[in-house]
Amino acid sequence: MHFKFDKSRIHSFESVSSTMDIARQMAEENCPDRTVIVAKHQTCGRGRMKRNWQSDQGGLYMTWVLRPKINISLCFAFTFSSALSIVEALEKIFKIKAEVKWPNDVLVNGHKIAGILTETKIDNNELNYLNIGMGININNIPNSNTFQATSIKDLIQKKVNTSTFIDFLFDKLDYNFQHMNPKKVIQEWKARNCTLGKFVRVKTFASFSEGYAIDIDNSGALLLEKENGEIETVIYGDCFEVSGIKFT
List contacts with its own copies (CB under 8 A).
48, 69, 71-72, 76, 103-104, 117-126, 205-206, 235-236
CB of 119 to its own copies, least distance (A): 5
Which helix (H) or strand (E) element contains residue 164? helix 163-178
Preceding omega of 103 cis (within 30 degrees of 0): yes
CB of 121 to its own copies, least distance (A): 6
Of residues 112 and 153, the one with the C-beta less far from its own copies: 112
Of residues 138 and 222, the one with the C-beta less far from its own copies: 222
Q: What is the DSSP letter of 221?
A: P
Of residues 34 and 67, the one with the C-beta less far from its own copies: 67
Of residues 12 and 71, the one with the C-beta less far from its own copies: 71
CB of 44 to its own copies, least distance (A): 15
Say how many CA atoms lie within 13 Å of 150 toward its Cβ.
18
CB of 165 to its own copies, least distance (A): 25
Give the C-alpha separation, 14 to 55, whole Å. Answer: 12
Closest CA to 64 of 197, 145, 177, 143: 177
- Any bridge partners for residue 107, and if so which? 99, 112
**Residue 90 CB contacts under 8 Å (≥ 6 apart), including other chains:** 96, 97, 98, 106, 108, 113, 152, 165
Of residues 117 and 166, the one with the C-beta less far from its own copies: 117
Of residues 69 and 179, the one with the C-beta less far from its own copies: 69
- Residue 211, classified by CB atoms within 10 Å of its CB into exposed (0-12), middle (13-18) or buried (19+), is buried
Of residues 83 and 138, the one with the C-beta less far from its own copies: 83
CB of 2 to its own copies, least distance (A): 32
Which helix (H) or strand (E) element contains residue 26? helix 19-28
CB of 42 to its own copies, least distance (A): 17
Q: How far is CA 57 from CA 2, 43, 134, 147, in A?
A: 21, 11, 15, 20
CB of 51 to its own copies, least distance (A): 11
Distance between first and last Cα of the chain: 53
